[in-house]
Amino acid sequence: MPGPFEYFIWLSCTLLEIAVVVCALKKGAIRKYFLLNLYMAASVIVTGARFHVLTSRGFTSPEYVYLYYYSDALLTIFLYLALSSLYAHVFSELKAERYVRFGTLVLLAGTALFSYGVVHESTTKLISRFVVELSQNLYFVGLVLTYVLWAAILKLRETRTQLIQIVLSLGVYFSLFAADYALRNLYPSISSLFISLLQVFGCFLPLAWAYTFWRIPEDARIVPSRLAVVPR
Amino acid sequence: MMAGVIFVFSAAALLQFFISYCRSLIAASSKQVLSAEVKDVTGIQRIASGDDFKRVMQLLQLCPERPEDRNGVQAIGAYFSLLSFLRSTLARVVPSMRAWTESERGQCAYFAAVALERRISFSRDMLAQQMDA
């Protein structure tokens, strides 16, 4: 059963997710970053559903466990699609939206196939194992894609500060999750510690996006090469 | 083995993204010119040094917090700690890194001074509102 600290993090995270959508609405960025905001809104709805099942059925009930992992996979797919919309923003001048959409779907199908390949020999709970595996693999694929997107931003000299901050914060988020999942596989005996850390990491993305929508004007510009760790 | 490779790649990417993200936060404030008052209080005239950071942060904590500043200040605080760690470890071996960490630490101090300026004007606005009421 979650303790007061877990509930506090959970509530903070949900409030931050609501703040992202509210900030985007107030600053007129909801349409421009529609999939990002849709992900945040979906996350709030999922939190509500999880809380309802947690209080009515209990933390260890199969309903809660199923809802948790299945909704997590669904949210990861949403976030993956949100990332592909950032690709469309960066490559908008090249008129490459159609290719981005096609590439996104191919990669998603490839990740699903790979995940199935990993779990297909399991005799029990095949679908549940698949869902968990897909979710973990998508975090790593998301990290690689964000890294490629950051390289494209540097190469194409993209200057929109809002977009750059959204991509960088997404990179931090995916790296935190991918590293956490890797550590969980490396040290299964202390996996509960890494699960608790995931909750805290989860607050980073809404925090960073709310800040970006609220504080960074849409027309703000920045020189991306100045942000690179290795000077260009 | 695979998990180990993923961890190393993720940690390296995390470091890169985190540094770039903090720099993007700093870049927004680096164009802002400090008022004479804040220059006097912080002792920063034109270019800030890393040694100014702690002092400016102490001054920052004396002012009422602005909710919209909190996240940025915390992220830059973490970035400053990372830079200080690099300066006292890796930069001892790689001399060029020393200059880089020092310049970055200075920019963190400048970011904190800009945040201080905003908090001072925020406090003044609050006081003016109370006086009016």
Q: Residue A22, SS3?
A: helix
Chain B environment of A215 (Cβ under 8 Å) = 28, 68, 72
* Domain region containing A224: 4-228
**Residue with the larger pLDDT of the pair A114 and B68:** A114
CATH number of the domain enclosing A14: 1.20.1070.10
Beta-carbon contacts of residue B99 (< 8 Å; ≥ 6 apart): none
Q: What share of chain A is helix, strand, coil (3-state, %, to 5)?
A: 80, 0, 20
Beta-carbon contacts of residue A227 (< 8 Å; ≥ 6 apart): A164, A168, B20, B23, B24, B27
Compute how many other C-beta atoms are within 10 angstroms of the C-beta atom of residue A206.
26
Compute how many other C-beta atoms are within 10 angstroms of the C-beta atom of residue A49.
12
Contact A128, A73 (CB under 8 A): no
User: What would the mean pLDDT of A21-42 be, rounded to a whole number?
Assistant: 94
Contact A13, A208 (CB under 8 A): no
Identity at A74, one-letter amino acid code: L
Tell me: the pLDDT tens digits for A119-175? 888 777 788 889 988 998 999 999 999 999 999 999 998 899 999 999 999 999 999
Query: What global pTM score does this model have?
Result: 0.87
ipTM, two decimals, is: 0.88
The whole-number pLDDT of residue B27 equals 86
Instruction: Tell me the average pLDDT of chain A.
Output: 90
What's the structural domain count of chain A? 1
Picking from B3, B27, B71, the nearest residue to A227 by CB comes out as: B27
State the smallest CA–CA distance between residue A57 and chain B in angstroms.
Answer: 34
User: Quick one: closest CA in B to A208, which residue?
Assistant: B71
Beta-carbon contacts of residue A170 (< 8 Å; ≥ 6 apart): A83, A86, A142, A146, A205
Query: What gap in Å lies between CA A179 and CA A150, rounded to an integer?
Result: 19
Low-confidence ranges of chain B (pLDDT < 50): none
Check pLDDT > 60 for residue A222.
yes
End-to-end CA separation in angstroms for chain B: 66
